[in-house]
Structure 1
Amino acid sequence: MSGKLYLKNQIPAIFVNIMGMLALVLFLFANGNQFQTVLFIFIVWFIILTTYLSVVYYVRKRYLNQLLDMTEQLEERYLIPEIMTIPKKADEQVFYQIMKMAEKSMLEKIGAIQNERKEYKEYIEQWIHEVKTPITAIKLLCENNRSPFAREILAELEHINQYTEQTLYYARSEHTEKDYSVRETNLCDVVHSAVADNKYLLRQSNMTITIDDIENRVYTDDKWVRFILNQIIGNAIKYRIEQPVLHFSAIKTNDRVVLSVIDNGIGIPKSDLPRIFEKGFTGRNGRIGKNSTGMGLYLCKRLCDKLGIGLTAHSENKGTTIALSFQMNDFVIRVQG
């Protein structure tokens, strides 16, 4: 609270006191009181007024600063009335009631929005599960009637499946703790499953796949890691060059297992690298006819943060390396050692 503003607000009270002082001085002089007596009474009145204004300013400033500090520490600042002490002054109680009414209105609005989001999320998840049925049916029909045309359809179906999976995982990414199951996972199995998910797209793009002997086991959710690898593989296919190559390898350090996915594609411009995990960021390559949504790597980063997996990207002129870093705690290291 500003002292200058406080004094400005107290001008009416100060003016009344000054008028009272002048009236008292005139009254005392009219009754024959000596100058020293009048001056003494005037000074005492002035000291009492100044002391009162100073004490009130100090007490109010301290209270309001505490209130501001409490408000800044709150994540939902509209809940400030819940931690405030009920004021004693009549005008302050009016403002307190107004804040309580505003808080109630805000909570009702938030509750309504949360219900709408929940219903929309449930609808999206239900729709995705339902649309997967015809996708699976078309896939079976194509696999039972092998032809170059059928293989083209199967590759496009993998595209469709990637987009539906992306939508589903985006809908669930806000509350991953309700959908993931952390257990011992063989990274080699997850890599092979992700490659199998994209086999027709990889074949269509003439991608050469090389996989090192990955014998590492980590504690994570294999389904979510498989989705992350699918997004990375999809990007490698989208931004490929002639004679594309995709390589998977893993190394183990003291407390981490790092799974690297390396391609020889067009790479990522240096200026774009710091922003590739931002929501909706497509970068220079994505704006050149690649139909990029800017959601794939954003979702990968979001899910990795939820699962405690480190995610980094490295690119120099050509080729890109995406690294997934799995934390190994002391217990896991001792068991696997």
Structure 2
Amino acid sequence: MNGKQYLKNQLPVILINLLGMLALALFLIASGNSIQTVLFILVVWLIVLFSCLLFFYFSRKKYLDKLLDMTEQLEERYLLPEIMQEPEKADEQVFYQIMKMAEKSMLERIGEVQRERKEYKEYIEQWIHEVKTPITAIKLICENNRCSFTRDLMAELENINRFTEQALYYARSEHTENDYSVREIRLSNVVHGAIADNKYLLRQNNVTVTVDNVEYSIYSDDKWLRFILDQLISNAVKYRIDQPVLHFSAVKENDRVILSVEDDGIGIPQSDLSRIFEKGFTGQNGRIIHSSTGIGLYLCKRLCDKLGIGISASSEGKGTTISLSFRINDFVTGVQG
């Protein structure tokens, strides 16, 4: 509460009191009172007036500062009327009722938006599960009729399946705790499973895949981790160069197992490295490869945060290394907490 603004608001009260003092002084002088008596009465009036103004200023300031502190501590600030005391002054009660009406309107709107989001999420999940049926059927047809055409078709089907999975995981990423199951898994099984999921894509683009020293046990969710690796494999293929190589390796450091996914592609400019996990960010490479959406790595980061997996990227002009860091001590306790 600003003191200067408070005085400005109190100008009508001050002017009325000054006019009253002038009228009283003229009346007392006309009644034959001495100047000393008149001055004494006016000084007392002024002292009382400014004492009252100071008292109301500090008491009001204390109340409003407390109200501001309460508001700053609230995450949903539209709920302020629920925790503030109902004021006693008539004009303040009007504003209090306005705030209550605004709060009610906001809660109704939030409830409506949440219902719409839930319905849309359920529709997306249902649609994805439905569309997987014809994808699986086409895969079986291709498997039973192998030729160069069906191999190319299988690679495109892997892309379609990846995009549908991306949409599904994006829809679920807000509440992953309802879908994941953390347990002990073999890192090698997840890595080889992700490679198998993308075998036609890798074969179509002549990607050489090497896997070294991934025989570690970690605590994570097999399905979600496999999805993360699918996104990293897809990026490595998307930003490839001639005779691309994709290398998986793992190392144990203190209480962590670090899985590195390294490619020899076009790399990431240093100016873009700090932003590659931002939603929708495509950077300089995204302007070259127009199929970039900026969603894949954003989803990886979001899911890693939910699962307690550290994720980082490095690039030295050519090639990119994405590192996933898994805790191996008290991991389950940390995630469930």
TM-score by length of 2: 0.96
Counterpart in the other structure of 2:271: 271
Match of 1:20, SS state, is helix
Counterpart in the other structure of 2:189: 189
When residues 331 and 262 of structure 1 are mapped into structure 2, their CA distance, relative to the original with a 3 A threshold, is closer
The Cα of 1:294 is off from its aligned counterpart by 0.8
Counterpart in the other structure of 2:146: 146
8 Å Cα contact 1:170-1:299 kept in structure 2: yes
Q: Aligned residues, how many?
A: 332
Of stretches 63-72 and 51-60 in structure 1, the one that deviates more from structure 2 is: 63-72
Deviation per CA, 1:240-299: give whole Å up to 9, x if none. 111111111111111111000011111111111111111111111122134111100000
8 Å Cα contact 2:249-2:260 kept in structure 1: yes
The Cα of 1:31 is off from its aligned counterpart by 1.7
5+ residue gaps, structure 2, are 333-337
The Cα of 1:152 is off from its aligned counterpart by 0.6
1: CA distance, partners of 2:206 / 2:268: 21
Query: Counterpart amino acid of 2:139?
Result: K
The Cα of 1:330 is off from its aligned counterpart by 5.0
Counterpart in the other structure of 1:325: 325
Structural mapping, 1:116-127, within 5 Å = 116-127=116-127
Match of 1:313, SS state, is strand
Query: Counterpart amino acid of 1:210?
Result: T
Tell whether 2:156 aligns with 1:156. yes
Q: Which stretches of structure 1, 4 residues or more, deviate above 3 A after TM superposition?
A: none
Query: Counterpart amino acid of 1:327?
Result: R
The Cα of 1:331 is off from its aligned counterpart by 8.0
Percent identical among aligned pairs is 73
2: CA distance, partners of 1:123 / 1:74: 33
The Cα of 1:214 is off from its aligned counterpart by 1.5
Deviation per CA, 1:187-220: give whole Å up to 9, x if none. 1100011001000001111111111132211111
Tell whether 2:255 aligns with 1:255. yes
1: CA distance, partners of 2:243 / 2:8: 78
Tell whether 2:75 aligns with 1:71. no
Structural mapping, 1:305-320, within 5 Å = 305-320=305-320
Match of 1:276, SS state, is coil
2: CA distance, partners of 1:331 / 1:297: 23
Counterpart in the other structure of 2:214: 214
5+ residue gaps, structure 1, are 333-337
Counterpart in the other structure of 1:335: none
Output the aligned Cα RMSD: 1.1
Tell whether 2:109 aligns with 1:102. no
2: CA distance, partners of 1:177 / 1:83: 31
Match of 2:105, SS state, is helix
TM-score by length of 1: 0.96
1: CA distance, partners of 2:101 / 2:331: 52
2: CA distance, partners of 1:278 / 1:13: 56
Counterpart in the other structure of 1:40: 40
Match of 1:209, SS state, is strand
Deviation per CA, 1:289-315: give whole Å up to 9, x if none. 341111000000011111111100000
8 Å Cα contact 2:219-2:331 kept in structure 1: no
Of stretches 72-81 and 146-155 in structure 1, the one that deviates more from structure 2 is: 72-81
Counterpart in the other structure of 1:168: 168
2: CA distance, partners of 1:308 / 1:331: 8
Query: Counterpart amino acid of 2:82?
Result: E
Counterpart in the other structure of 2:335: none
Deviation per CA, 1:105-163: give whole Å up to 9, x if none. 01101110110011001000000000000000000000000111000110000000000
2: CA distance, partners of 1:297 / 1:228: 8
Of stretches 162-171 and 26-35 in structure 1, the one that deviates more from structure 2 is: 26-35
2: CA distance, partners of 1:331 / 1:325: 12
